[in-house]
Amino acid sequence: MSDQIRFMLNESDLPKNWYNVMADSPVPPTPVLNPMTKEPITPEFLSVLFPMEIIKQEVSTERFIQIPEEVREIYKLYRPTPLMRARRLEKALDTPAHIYFKNESVSPVGSHKPNTAIPQAFYNKVAGTKAMTTETGAGQWGTALAMACNFFGLDLEVYMVKVSYVQKPYRRIYMQTFGAQVFASPSNRTEFGRSLLAKDPENNGSLGIAISEAVEVAATSGGSKKYSLGSVLNHVLMHQTVIGEEALKQMDLAGEYPDVVIGCVGGGSNFGGIAFPFLRQNLKDGQRTRLLAVEPTATPSLTKGKYTYDYGDSAMMAPIVKMHTLGHTFMPAGIHAGGLRYHGMAPSVSALYDAGLIEAVAVPQIGTFDAAVQFTKSEGIIPAPESAHAIRVAIDEALDAKAKGEKRVILFNLSGHGHFDMTAYQSYLNDELEDYEYPTHAIEAAMKDLPKVEVEA
């Protein structure tokens, strides 16, 4: 085994296709329902929000979808991204495990989010869209879409969860630098936002609320604006599979194959992006890689949520999907992993978890930052709080391998850097962070507000 720590691909190795897990999933897709009629959704309903090419990808069962050359050209600004072996972290842990990470923090905006922002902006441009709306939690998705809309000459409105709007002002400024308009959510710009502020002027917001505002603006625009989502939906997770497709080639360069693949989860995009190509190898080639999704104890949709039909947003305007959910009325604690504060999980990830094809674990905030700082001191990269959840469990896996005296090949997705998260690290260093475990009774109470549907849940 060489001492190599960086495994690079050439531009010519950039994937030409996205991988669609729906082609190989042994779990049949569940119907997506119209939030008003509770009937299976129609392309006409979706066309209010999305261009037709996105709708086709959302329902496709083709194994591979070709990546347009216009998208691949912009991907080349940062792809293929490096695969790194964390040898200094291995040494610090004194573990026989080999730890690798896919470094998505090298994208222009510092996260994996451009992998779907670029194609979504492209398909909207081709369809004649002039302006788009979206939501963002920590700001990584909003920044990525702001960059992509700028590249394709589209206007953008971003509804940013208020607690993150306050915690992360530089993310807001970054989006504005690309030309986007950014509003703290809940805002007074939408009927739903005004209704919430009337009840609670100090409402910190949630991703569910921000989605509602962005959807309302698009749906009431008379077709002049389209909506874009940065996680959860099938087409989003599919676009992210460039991560795992590259990682498969890079692990081959390293001469190893992962025993476990790890990603943090909020809506499921970066986890699906790295894990789904390895799941294909499990299903088609007999590999036995464990696929491990990591979420905060404050937002435990997979590990505590109910697998049932629920609205995708708080205002009950978005489609109803079957997913692991904490309830669309969920109001998150003000933890610093803003991108993981969503009430539900991607339907595809939820179905695979329910079928036992992937695993999930929830970790507390302070231990997550312990791992982030240890990783920073070893590898010199300060991770986003979201990514730190994957690092926490990668370290736990390495220590477990040490305790059992076994070699274990661990791969995790470093989905973004933490350069705009210094207030979170400041709070950690000042011992101001608190662990929070979302209470089971709150989940049980939220289940009373689930939509009443005829489809078997």
- Work out how many domains the chain is built from and give that number: 1
Residue 137 in domain: no
Residue 367 in domain: yes
Q: Is residue 358 within 8 Å of residue 275, measured between CB atoms?
A: yes
Q: Is residue 413 within 8 Å of residue 102, measured between CB atoms?
A: yes
Would you list the DSSP string of 63-91? SEEEPPHHHHHHHTTT-SPPEEE-HHHHH
Q: Is residue 292 within 8 Å of residue 425, measured between CB atoms?
A: no
CA–CA gap between residue 402 and residue 331 (Å, rounded): 39
Query: Other C-beta atoms within 10 Å of 453: how many?
Result: 16
Residue 247 in domain: yes
Site of tokens 């991607």: 346
Preceding amide of 80 cis, omega within 30:
yes
Instruction: CATH number of the domain at 438, please.
Output: 3.40.50.1100
Domain enclosing residue 340, as ranges: 6-14+68-110+235-449
User: Looking at residue 23, what is its pLDDT?
Assistant: 97
User: Looking at residue 196, what is its pLDDT?
Assistant: 96
**pTM of structure:** 0.95
User: Looking at residue 2, what is its pLDDT?
Assistant: 62
Q: Which two tokens stand for residue 345?
A: 């999980």
User: Looking at residue 337, what is its pLDDT?
Assistant: 59
Q: Exposed (0-12), middle (13-18) or buried (19+): which is 85, by Cβ within 10 Å?
A: buried
User: Looking at residue 318, what is its pLDDT?
Assistant: 85
Residue 317 in domain: yes
Residue 290 in domain: yes
Residue 117 in domain: no
Residue 437 in domain: yes
CA–CA gap between residue 342 and residue 346 (Å, rounded): 10
Q: Is residue 21 within 8 Å of residue 277, measured between CB atoms?
A: no
- What Rg value do the Cα atoms of the chain yield, rounded? 20
Residue 187 in domain: no
Q: What is the mean pLDDT of each run of 10 residues along the chain (457 residues)?
A: 87 97 94 92 91 96 98 98 98 98 97 98 97 92 97 98 89 96 97 96 90 94 94 96 98 98 96 98 97 96 96 87 94 67 92 98 97 98 96 98 97 96 93 92 93 79
Q: Exposed (0-12), middle (13-18) or buried (19+): which is 175, by Cβ within 10 Å?
A: buried
Query: Other C-beta atoms within 10 Å of 191: how many?
Result: 12
Q: Is residue 313 within 8 Å of residue 207, measured between CB atoms?
A: no
Reference 367, options 290, 294, 265; nearest CA is: 294
Query: Other C-beta atoms within 10 Å of 199: how many?
Result: 8
Lateral strand order in the sheet of 260-264: 6-7, 83-85, 98-103, 409-414, 260-264, 290-296, 359-363
